[in-house]
Structure 1
Amino acid sequence: MKNRILTFAILLLAWLATNSQLRAQQPAPADSSQRNNEYQVLMEKIRQDFAINPPAKETEEALKTYNEADGSFTDVDYASIQRTNWPPLLHIDRLYDFAFAYTTPGNSYYGNEALFDKIVKGLEYWYDRNPWCHNWWYNQIAEPQRLGIMLIQLRTGKKQIPAELETKTLDRVRKDGGHPAKWTGANRTDIALHWIYRACLTQNEEDLALALDNVYNPIVYTTKEGFQHDNSYFQHGRQLYIGGYGDEILKGITQVAMYTRGTRFAIPEEKLALLSKFMRETYYATIRGRHMLFDVLGRGVSRPKITDKSQTALFARRMAQLDTVHATEYEAIIARLEGKEPAAYALAPKHTHYYRADYTLHVRPHYTFDVRMVSTRTARCEYGNGENLKTYFMSDGCTNITTTGDEYFNIFP
């Protein structure tokens, strides 16, 4: 009996010690002051990410078309339902620039009350007019993202926009801006971004947690849309979309990962590892010098200058900080993209067949060669929104062979 009691006592003490240790490992619940500080930290990172100092000349030109009577711009067609390059978005773009001009020290319009009044009236006009595009992307991604960034930046101004105006603008963004969980891949991430902006402005912890979860949860291997087990990327069904939608999801994920770096919201290590593998071994491997191979771009192949991916050096620069183990590899990628080193710089011979994507990529220091096909396992390159109407047969079989990377630049548009 004594032995049983002794054994029980030892087990009880062991359980209590283990349970105490586990509780100690859990992050302490954040109090209101800590949460408020976290929102401020996130918003400051967002401001730094988008910081611009608009030239006074551009502001002056935009003001020439500003309608003092109602806050509109006389050269904007607010009734347009054009599916690409939607004209009404110019209204938001101009107010966006006005907001940065008003809040950026050193700008000639810094603290200018007349410009501030125009921003307020312009936001009121946009809310009342409520332009709508037949292409959902403008309503649920482009417009809400710009509005969110603008409102975050305006919080730093000498004068604050009326609380009622900010609240009703954000309420409409929530109502009309879509829910990230209803989408997949890059679209989910893009919608989650404006949820993050809105959650920071309203200090809504539930919405912030939901948004971050939707940014990170697509970083898994899947047989549906997203990252495939062969390290390729699909979007719009079983279409190869290493470029295009691949660009978008990398832009959004690395952006959010930088915002949350060093906080309790940081990207999980296993997801960072998957992301890094895709970027280093597939995404940047399809870029020779600064140009991406045309057959991984989806319908975007028809757009002017689309193969030039020099701007994606930003993603690599972010990853060099997030994934320090591979920082040297990212630095070589950046050097090639920015033209500081030749296309062959730091390339190792590599041959990869992507069995899910019907795609083969062969990389050598002196050249890159690939083969793109289609089968019962994959889908043809798409067309949509009036673009890419002539690439039906490209999926039947096409190749790139390139040494400098720019051999196919602007041929398809």
Structure 2
Amino acid sequence: MKKLLLILCCFVFVGFCKADEIEVIKQRIAEWNWSNDINRTEIIRDAQKWTQTLQADQQWQDVDYKNPTRAIWTAFQHLKRVKEMTIAYTAPWSSLRNDEKTFEAIQNGLLFWNKAKMKNINWWWNEIEAPRTIGVILIMLERNNGKQLPGELFSSLVKQMDYKRTNGVTGVNLADFDTHIFYSGLLNQNEEEIRKGLENIFSINKATIKEGVQFDNSYAQHEIMLHIFGYGTEYLKVETYIGAMVADTKFAMKGEQLRTFTNFIARTLIPQIRGRYTNWTSFGRQIAREDFTDMKWLAPYFEKLILMDKMNTSIYQDAIERINQKKKPNFHIAELQKHYWNTDFTFYQNPVYQFSVRMSSKYTQQAETDLNGENKKGGNRSIGSYALLQDGTEYYNIYPVWDWRKIPGTTTLENYPLPDTKYLTPGKSVFAGGVSDGKTGVSAFLQDQFEVKAQKSWFMFGKEIVCVGNQIFTDKDDEVLTTVEQNFFKDKVTYRNCVDKYEVKEGQLVNSNDQQILLHRNTAYIFPEKTNLTISSQIQKGTWKELTELGSTEEKQSAVFKLWINHGKKVNNGSYQYFIVPGIRNVNRAKKITADFTIWNQKDVHAVYQKSSKKLMLVFFRPGEIELMGQMIKADRACTLLIENLEAQNPEVFVSDPSRKEKEVNLGIGKENIHINLPTDRAFAGSSVHYKNK
């Protein structure tokens, strides 16, 4: 008898433990929604308004229930308002907690949604956003000690969450879809259902050649389209949120899944943020959204990540300090250079600045235009555009007034219609990539798109960036322009050519054809050869509505610093070379920088040698040879090459294949012949290979 009682007690104890963990998770979910990204005053005010204005037919008069717009589903405002009332009714801090009129409005709002069975033409609203919103509403109501919904309505709403999956089978969409399965399991006290939801939510935490975290630690969505932010931050949100909710329970994320997820956040996503703001190169159509590059909202997620990932605590804490502007943008920023070979993206940072280059190739998708009415002008973003940030505000919300034909880094036609790179438009380049030693590197892009051909390279030596281009061709009777920069004008531009030094103030347009140096926003732009430049500090105007259907029609205007090279019309073998040197405030100091470098801008090869570091970087656009520093450098394959300690007996070599198709490369460096095998599998083709003769 005693033995039987002991067994029964064990079963009861196990049952209590199981129930207790589920209750803990539900409580965490409720607390998160009561506190995260909440303005308490606004919630109370809005909840009172929604309670008072809900009509007898259980609808709001100002909500359009029939408009099925893909981007913003107006009918969803109904469910959003019910959620806001639920927060006000259940949150411990709320003056409306357990208010009977508020509960009556919540119940009536849910009764309408339950019987109306609203649908949108965009699957995402039906299969992701609506079900998970219902789940959160029900969990908050259940965790409160006030009135509860009638059992029949509660069960019907839980059943309504169970949408059949028609999309959302990869990447963050998979995790977002299964969030409502996880919620349903919690509401049903069904451990099997909870595990089923979590299995898919956490399953995307592995490297893949499809949508999701790539083997190079970047993030791709919509096939292989770069999305470190945008879909990458959606990935961060769902994995951090769910991971934090189940932390320290038997359902917790752990092992390789936790390492893959946190490695992406700590070593790829966080470096893209300069102070409080991110660059515009690392995501897609979201560039058309006002305030999108403001990352202040990420701080609570990084706080949760500290609980999940103690190994990277200092990285998250430093990011929080920078985002909350308690520390400067350069606080604890280490030097880093990396080319992300899976997504055609290059990134560099040091305490002074960050620099990133977005390319595309036949292996990757270009940044999509006009998807769900967003990013109507951004078709030139995937052909070698770059962003340079020091304090992070250089481009913040500049996009309505941007001249989208002059995106920094690009070589384009002046009057060519802005191209469409709609959903799933692959790049055209057969040679887009880069090589890196971890702190410095070179990236290259062979352009043949939008009526312009060009060979372009970016050499990142640390303090200096050297931009080289040649073989620029077009048969169009239109000006070919290479845009050097376009950011917010600040204070003045200091300008110096071979003869004069003067200042460009706001509202000016200056043309010059000379060797020249410009200083703007503590950055030097140095043109060591005679270059046909245009400098603009004029007022530019535009609206968010021009970029996205949902944007404001209010006209914005700002003075914009715009700097570009004019190669002329019907260009045959145009070229350029210039330095970008952030952290420079003095023209005389800028003049001395070029003496440390030697540049070769030849038909088949771009090369730059830095004397002080004894470092040589080369781009072989075709097999060839070049004599540099008294040595013959040869490559029997097109490649990017970085040679350290060139004058040493055994120089250190890093090489990559931007074409992603070669199995090997044979190099000649002076008298030494080197054979290097190259990775060819999809996961690592294009990555850097290190060689050192021992």
Letter in 2 for 1:102: Y
What secondary structure does 2:392 align onto? coil
Specify the alignment match of 1:35 in structure 2: 18
For 1:56 and 1:352, how far apart are their aligned partners in 2? Answer: 47
For 1:391 and 1:175, how far apart are their aligned partners in 2? Answer: 34
Specify the alignment match of 1:409 in structure 2: 396
TM-superposition CA deviations, 1:260-294 (whole Å, max 9, x none):
11111111222222222211211011111111110
TM-superposition CA deviations, 1:111-157 (whole Å, max 9, x none):
22222122111111111112211112111222111111110111114
For 2:21 and 2:256, how far apart are their aligned partners in 1? Answer: 24
User: What displacement does 1:194 show?
Assistant: 1.6
| Correspondent of 1:45 among 18, 23, 28 | 28
Whether 2:317 is the aligned partner of 1:334: answer: no
User: What displacement does 1:106 show?
Assistant: 4.9
User: What displacement does 1:250 show?
Assistant: 0.8
User: What displacement does 1:107 show?
Assistant: 2.8
For 1:184 and 1:333, how far apart are their aligned partners in 2? Answer: 29
| Correspondent of 1:183 among 135, 160, 169 | 169
Whether 2:373 is the aligned partner of 1:386: answer: yes
User: What displacement does 1:246 show?
Assistant: 0.2
Instruction: Answer with 227-236 or 56-65: which moved more.
Output: 56-65
Return structure 1 stretches of 4+ with deviation > 6 angstroms. Answer: none
User: What displacement does 1:219 show?
Assistant: 0.7
User: What displacement does 1:31 show?
Assistant: 3.8
Letter in 1 for 2:262: S
TM-superposition CA deviations, 1:368-397 (whole Å, max 9, x none):
111111111211111311111211121111
Cα contact 1:295–1:301 (8 A) shared by 2: no
For 1:403 and 1:288, how far apart are their aligned partners in 2? Answer: 7
Letter in 2 for 1:141: I
For 2:310 and 2:282, how far apart are their aligned partners in 1? Answer: 28
Specify the alignment match of 2:528 in structure 1: none
Specify the alignment match of 2:620 in structure 1: none
Q: Which runs of 5+ in 2 are unaligned?
A: 1-10, 401-694
Letter in 2 for 1:250: L
What secondary structure does 1:394 align onto? coil
Equivalent pairs: percent with the same residue? 32
Cα contact 1:335–1:341 (8 A) shared by 2: yes
Cα contact 1:79–1:131 (8 A) shared by 2: no
Cα contact 2:48–2:102 (8 A) shared by 1: no
Specify the alignment match of 2:403 in structure 1: none
TM-superposition CA deviations, 1:299-320 (whole Å, max 9, x none):
1111111111111122221222
Specify the alignment match of 2:262 in structure 1: 276
For 1:365 and 1:194, how far apart are their aligned partners in 2? Answer: 42
Specify the alignment match of 2:108 in structure 1: 121
For 2:210 and 2:24, how far apart are their aligned partners in 1? Answer: 35
For 2:302 and 2:44, how far apart are their aligned partners in 1? Answer: 32
User: What displacement does 1:242 show?
Assistant: 0.4
Specify the alignment match of 1:9 in structure 2: none
Whether 2:271 is the aligned partner of 1:285: answer: yes
User: What displacement does 1:399 show?
Assistant: 0.5
Letter in 1 for 2:158: L
| Correspondent of 1:173 among 139, 161, 165 | 161
For 1:202 and 1:190, how far apart are their aligned partners in 2? Answer: 19
For 2:49 and 2:122, how far apart are their aligned partners in 1? Answer: 29
Whether 2:218 is the aligned partner of 1:235: answer: no
Letter in 2 for 1:112: D
Specify the alignment match of 1:100 in structure 2: 87
Specify the alignment match of 1:164 in structure 2: 152
Specify the alignment match of 2:45 in structure 1: 57
Instruction: Answer with 104-113 or 356-365: which moved more.
Output: 104-113
Letter in 2 for 1:369: F
Letter in 2 for 1:402: L
Cα contact 2:50–2:85 (8 A) shared by 1: no
Cα contact 2:33–2:87 (8 A) shared by 1: no
Cα contact 2:331–2:351 (8 A) shared by 1: yes
Letter in 1 for 2:71: T
For 1:136 and 1:193, how far apart are their aligned partners in 2? Answer: 15
Cα contact 2:345–2:356 (8 A) shared by 1: yes
Relative to its length, the structure with more helix (as a share) is 1
What secondary structure does 1:175 align onto? coil
Instruction: Answer with 318-327 or 225-234: which moved more.
Output: 318-327
Specify the alignment match of 2:387 in structure 1: 400
Specify the alignment match of 1:23 in structure 2: none
Q: TM-score, normalised by structure 2?
A: 0.53
Letter in 1 for 2:32: D
For 1:37 and 1:184, how far apart are their aligned partners in 2? Answer: 32
Specify the alignment match of 2:535 in structure 1: none
Q: Which runs of 5+ in 1 are unaligned?
A: 1-27
Larger Rg: 2
For 1:353 and 1:175, how far apart are their aligned partners in 2? Answer: 40
For 1:167 and 1:340, how far apart are their aligned partners in 2? Answer: 47
Matches within 5 A, 1:312-323: 312-323=298-309
For 2:125 and 2:13, how far apart are their aligned partners in 1? Answer: 36
For 1:139 and 1:33, how far apart are their aligned partners in 2? Answer: 35
User: What displacement does 1:179 show?
Assistant: 7.4
For 1:219 and 1:237, how far apart are their aligned partners in 2? Answer: 17
For 1:327 and 1:108, how far apart are their aligned partners in 2? Answer: 36
TM-superposition CA deviations, 1:46-77 (whole Å, max 9, x none):
1111115564322222234210x221111111
Cα contact 2:51–2:102 (8 A) shared by 1: no
What secondary structure does 2:386 align onto? strand
| Correspondent of 1:142 among 115, 129, 132 | 129
For 1:276 and 1:95, how far apart are their aligned partners in 2? Answer: 34
What is the RMSD of the two structures over their aligned residues, measured on CA atoms? 1.9
Specify the alignment match of 1:257 in structure 2: 243
Letter in 2 for 1:174: D
Count of aligned residue pairs for this structure pair: 383
For 2:296 and 2:153, how far apart are their aligned partners in 1? Answer: 39
For 2:166 and 2:250, how far apart are their aligned partners in 1? Answer: 24
For 1:366 and 1:76, how far apart are their aligned partners in 2? Answer: 49
Letter in 1 for 2:31: Q
User: What displacement does 1:91 show?
Assistant: 1.0
Cα contact 2:274–2:390 (8 A) shared by 1: yes
Specify the alignment match of 2:606 in structure 1: none
User: What displacement does 1:30 show?
Assistant: 8.7
Specify the alignment match of 1:245 in structure 2: 231
Instruction: Answer with 158-167 or 33-42: which moved more.
Output: 33-42
Matches within 5 A, 1:355-394: 355-383=341-369, 384-394=371-381
For 1:139 and 1:359, how far apart are their aligned partners in 2? Answer: 33
Letter in 1 for 2:380: F
For 2:52 and 2:146, how far apart are their aligned partners in 1? Answer: 24
Cα contact 1:43–1:200 (8 A) shared by 2: yes
Letter in 2 for 1:290: R
Specify the alignment match of 1:7 in structure 2: none
Relative to its length, the structure with more strand (as a share) is 2
What secondary structure does 2:285 align onto? helix
Instruction: Answer with 124-133 or 106-115: which moved more.
Output: 106-115
Cα contact 1:101–1:107 (8 A) shared by 2: yes
